[in-house]
Amino acid sequence: MLKAIRNLLLCACACAIWGVASPVAHATDQKDLPPYKMLRSLQYIQDSIVLGDHSAAEMQRFMLAAIDKRLREADPSAFDDPRNVDAAFIYAMSGGNPETLSYLANHDIEGNFDSRIVDALNHYLVGKGGLMVEHLAKAIPEYRNSRIGPYLYLVLGNATAQQDPAMSLKYYDWARLMAPGTNIEEAALRRSIALTAQDKSEEKGVLAEKGFRYSLSYARRFLTSPYASQFADVFVELAVANYGEQTEVRIQEILGFMDRPRQREVYLRIARRAAIGGMQQLATLASERARGLSDTLDAGPKALASLYSGLVGVPSSGILDAVKDISSIPDSELSPRDRALRRAAAAVAEEVLRAPEPDSLTQASDSNVTSHNMREESGEETGSGESPFAVPGSKTAENAMQPALEQQALSSKNSPPDPVLDAFLSTGRSKLDEIDSLLKGEAE
């Protein structure tokens, strides 16, 4: 109902602004309309999009093109009004044509455009944000309470995210404080969560707590944003990287603002990420939660939950049961990426269960090799096959060893930890992670 009302108001505003009823009035009004008034419509549309009105995306593209034309055709005297200058800056920072800002600055003979802001934005918009950080950081206090202040803080936060994440978070906080409930706050929250999820510093615990607070704010306000899937991705990284008894409560609190299908999707993502990372407890817990949120007819999510909970059992004592469980899942219930992940897990399991070659049980040394060569030359058969250091002397001895080796592999869950086996399993997990990275771009 609220979305329908917003759409009606949006259409009414567009008709009033653009003079739809009269083509002549439309041409006259558009030519004389101040750029800052047109920008207000763009801001309203962009805020509506992050609040859930995805149908406004087409109107956004139309407004960007109309504002670009209006700015280029405006009389230079129009920029004696600071509101129109701010409109040009905000347009450039809101997805507009960056060349338009350069065009206006080059034709500015009255000094209406602050060259410091123009240069900083020109560097940022062509991908050279690091070159403008120092100059913009010095100029930004003058614009803290201005119309372009929140946008400049967001830009500065983006530019410093890699070099100084802590300072970047402060810039994002300023942007959120100055523009609550807008697309500025949505972008600042989402990018703040991403920074806290990637943090590897000594203050990891402190920043993780900030990340959960940011996530809670995002879940309360912007779950209907078209960028909510990006939020889900970075939240999963944050949850997996900082999982513990204390954070489990925070995770449930944040997911409590989502409906059941979205909660299930997030738990499945957590289970998948934890399974690849070898976090057996988290993968099992998240899989069970996802399974509990699935309806009786939701075969696909249940299959994924079984796959992820089974994957963590492959490099463990329960390998046989794990392989049996994941092999029983129909291919039709899995995406191409998950089918590839299952094949990789099966390959690792096959290597773990494969009986070692008899030659691998020997230890070569100079004396052993010399002795072995001398005995081969004399035609003697060497060894009985009972010692791990001996060379099997006959096919009979080799065949006699096979049942014992197979029994040893099948009963591995009752055996004590083997450092060599653990190293091999770690390598297997890393290969799974590499496969997942290669498949990351595929559609679910």
Does residue 382 have a pLDDT over 50? no
**Using CA atoms in the order 69, 70, 74, 78, what is the torsion angle rounded to 10 degrees?**
-150
End-to-end Cα separation, the chain, in angstroms = 32
Q: How much is the pLDDT for 184? A: 96
**Using CA atoms in the order 194, 200, 202, 207, what is the torsion angle rounded to 10 degrees?**
10
The three-class DSSP label of residue 164 is coil
Q: pLDDT for 36-47, tens place per residue?
A: 999 999 999 999
Does residue 199 have a pLDDT over 80? no
Contact present, 304 and 268 (Cβ < 8 Å): yes
Contact present, 116 and 155 (Cβ < 8 Å): no
Angle between helices 260-276 and 280-292 (to 10 degrees): 160
| pLDDT > 70: percent of the chain | 58
Contact present, 226 and 198 (Cβ < 8 Å): no
Task: Please give the structure tokens belonging to residue 98.
Answer: 């960056």
CA distance to 119, 153, 172, 323, per residue, from 136 (Å): 9, 9, 15, 57
Does residue 142 have a pLDDT over 90? yes
CA distance to 69, 153, 195, 338, per residue, from 114 (Å): 22, 16, 31, 53
Does residue 396 have a pLDDT over 60? no
Q: pLDDT for 251-274, tens place per residue?
A: 899 999 999 989 988 988 888 888
Cα 328 to the center of its chain, rounded Å:
30
Single pTM value for the model = 0.67
Q: What is the DSSP letter of 74?
A: S
Task: Please give the structure tokens belonging to residue 71.
Answer: 């700015």
What is the rounded CA–CA span in Å between residue 248 and residue 255?
11
What is the rounded CA–CA span in Å between residue 366 and residue 372?
10
Q: Which of 257, 218, 222 is nearest to 238 (CA)?
A: 218
More confident position, 250 or 14: 250
Contact present, 104 and 118 (Cβ < 8 Å): no
Does residue 288 have a pLDDT over 60? yes
Q: How much is the pLDDT for 276? A: 77
Q: Which residue has the tokens 């009414």?
A: 12
What type of residue is 53? D
DSSP secondary structure string for all residues of 249-270: HHHHHHHTTS-HHHHHHHHHHH
| Rounded mean pLDDT, 99-117 | 94
Alpha carbons within 13 angstroms on the beta-carbon side of residue 288 total: 6
What is the rounded CA–CA span in Å between residue 176 and residue 169?
10
Domain spans in the chain, listed from the N-terminal domain onward: 1-113, 259-354+411-444
What is the rounded CA–CA span in Å between residue 369 and residue 390?
11
What is the rounded CA–CA span in Å between residue 216 and residue 239?
12
Q: How much is the pLDDT for 19? A: 41
